[in-house]
Structure formats: structure tokens, C-alpha cells
Amino acid sequence: MPTVETASRVLTDKSARTQERIRAAAAQVLTERGMATARLGDIAAAAGVQAPAIYYYYASREELIEDVIRQGQIGTETRVTQALDELDEQTPALDKICVAVEAHLRALHELSDYTTAAVRNVGQMPTEMRARMQADQRRYGRVWKRLFEQARDQGELREGLDLRAAQLLVIGALNWTPEWWADSSVPLDTLIATACDLTRRGLAADPRS
């Protein structure tokens, strides 16, 4: 006969699975429809639960959306930082930037709907919600800032290049790919190789490097 502890653990695991199903459904709806038209009823239907069940896990629609977007942002950051941590310390800075480009793109296109939902909806968030998310955004921005500064300090970047503008242009271009890539015939590996090549040639002091 199951013990009280075992029964409690089963209920906890089931609850966690249900919450994840709701969160994944919300990510899907946000990706397809955007924050403005993402209704709790649609999310509940996609998750296979009754709409009131969502309030067991989230106090409001906005809290659920914020959780989804934050999961997407953290997922991208984790993928990039892990890829960078695996590199040898002597790896040239431009190579590190290309590794970050690949990891960012793979996060966008391989980590389910969370990352795409984050990219597509972060600009639609209310001011208060956006303010709470800024700590995550700034932390991830500092990862890229350090890469560009290291490349500059090692003499790998074109002279006179504005680091801030270059960084934002690279990340902006990567974040735009979910808007068109799925409907294209370009394989993901080709997309990644092209993005790395364009980034390297656009930044490098010697475009042939």
C-alpha cells in the first residue's frame, strides 16, 4: 500500500507535469498569436485542462505569460553561456562570437516555442512586466558585451567599429530569423553557417580571417 509520502510525491509530480503542460501550451499560443490575442481559454484547450485550473498555478494571465517569456530568455542565455564555457581559454574572440551566434540560433529554433515566444512578445509586454524582465536582459547583454570587448582588445575587430551598434545589430538579426526561417527552404545548419560567416566578415579587422 502506498505511503502518505509516496502519494504526496505522486501528486507533486503530477502537478508539476500539469504546470509544464500549461506553460508549454502558453508558449505555443504566444508564438502563434502574440500576447494581445492569447486567451486563457485557448491556452487551456491546448494544454488539455479547464481554464480555471490555470489559476491553481498562476494568479493571472499576465503572470503565466511572464513566466513563459522568462523561461525563453533564460533558455537562450543558458545555451549560449554553456557553449562558451566549453571553449578553450585561448579561443580567439571572433571564434567565440561565432559560437555564441550558433548557440543563440539553435536556442531560437531548437528549444520549442519558449524562445520564439520570448523574442516575439517581449516588446508587447506592459511596462511593469518589462521592467521586471530587464535584469535577465541586461545579464545576457553583458555576455555579448564582454565578447565584443575582448575581440576589440585583441585587435580582431575593424578599426572604428561601434561596439554597441554592432552588438545590437547582430543580436537583432538573429532574433528576426523566427519570423521567416520556418517558411524557408534553408536548412538550419546553412542558416547558422551563413550567419557566422556574415558576422565574422562584418566585424573582422581582416575579412579574410
Confidence of residue 4 (pLDDT cuts 50, 70, 90): very low
In whole angstroms, what is the distance from residue 186 CA to residue 36 CA? 30
What pLDDT score was predicted for residue 38?
87
Q: Render pLDDT for 169-196 as a digit per residue (tens, 0 to 9).
A: 999 999 989 888 877 789 999 999 999 9
Give the CATH fold of the 4-203 domain: Tetracycline Repressor; domain 2 (1.10.357)
What pLDDT score was predicted for residue 209?
55
- Over range 161-175, report the average pLDDT: 94
Please count the other Cβ atoms lying within 10 Å of the Cβ belonging to residue 29. Answer: 25
In whole angstroms, what is the distance from residue 29 CA to residue 65 CA? 10
pTM of the model: 0.82
C-alpha distances in angstroms, 11 versus 2, 8, 21, 27? 12, 5, 15, 24
What secondary structure, in 3-state letters, does 51-88 show? HHHHHHCCCCHHHHHHHHHHHHHHHHHHHHHHHHHCCC
- Identify whether the C-beta of residue 143 lies closer than 8 Å to the C-beta of residue 104: no
Angle at 112 between CA 180 and CA 64, to 5 degrees: 105
What pLDDT score was predicted for residue 207?
60
User: Does residue 125 or residue 92 have the better pLDDT?
Assistant: 92
Q: Please determine, for residue 137, whether its predicted confidence score (pLDDT) is greater than 50.
A: yes
Confidence of residue 149 (pLDDT cuts 50, 70, 90): very high
In whole angstroms, what is the distance from residue 163 CA to residue 160 CA? 9
Q: Render pLDDT for 95-110 as a digit per residue (tens, 0 to 9).
A: 999 999 999 999 988 8
In whole angstroms, what is the distance from residue 129 CA to residue 125 CA? 6
Domain boundaries, the chain: 4-203
What pLDDT score was predicted for residue 5?
46
Q: Render pLDDT for 58-87 as a digit per residue (tens, 0 to 9).
A: 999 889 989 998 888 888 999 999 999 999
What pLDDT score was predicted for residue 105?
94
User: Does residue 124 or residue 93 have the better pLDDT?
Assistant: 93
